[in-house]
Amino acid sequence: MKFAILHHRGCAGTRFHYRIDPDGECRAALPESEPGEHPKCIGILIDADADAAVPSDAQMDALRTLLLQLKVRYPDIQMGGHRQIRGEDTTCPGKQFPLTAMREWAGHDLVVERDALLQDIVDAQYRP
Ligand SMILES: [Zn+2]
C-alpha cells in the first residue's frame, strides 16, 4: 500500500517527491524510489501557505492531475494530510486546506476518472 501525503509551505519537512508551484506547475523533486519524509509515502508539497488561505485553483487542479497519474500507477494508493500521521504535531497541509473534500474526491471521483482513463487506453489498443 502506498500513501500520497500532502504538505504545504509551512511544513518543517524537506524531502518531497513532488512540488506544486504557486502557478500550478508540478515538478518532480525526488525520485519515487527514494525515501521522503515518511516511509512508503509519496510526499507532495503544495507551495502555498494553506494555514492562511486555500491553495489556488491552479494548484488544486495540478494536485488532482498528479493524484490521477499516481492512481494509474498505484491502484491502491491512499491520500492523506501530513497531520493525519500518528504522532505528528503539525497543522500541515494547512488549516485552510480542504482535506475532507479532497479525501472524498479521492475516494470516488478519482477512481471514476482513473477507470475512464484506463478504458481510453484499452480502447485505443483495439481501435481499427
Ligand atoms: Zn508536512
**Alpha carbon distance 30, 63 (integer Å):** 16
Instruction: Find the 14 Cα to ligand 1 centroid distance in Å.
Output: 9
| Domain encompassing residue 36 | 3-125
Into how many domains does the chain fold? 1
**Alpha carbon distance 95, 89 (integer Å):** 13
Query: pTM for the complete prediction?
Result: 0.93
Instruction: Find the 6 Cα to ligand 1 centroid distance in Å.
Output: 7
Domain CATH for 44: 3.40.80.10
Instruction: Find the 111 Cα to ligand 1 centroid distance in Å.
Output: 25
Instruction: Find the 75 Cα to ligand 1 centroid distance in Å.
Output: 23
Instruction: Find the 109 Cα to ligand 1 centroid distance in Å.
Output: 25
**Alpha carbon distance 71, 52 (integer Å):** 29
Over residues 42-84, the pLDDT tens digits come to: 999 999 999 999 999 999 999 999 999 999 999 999 999 999 9
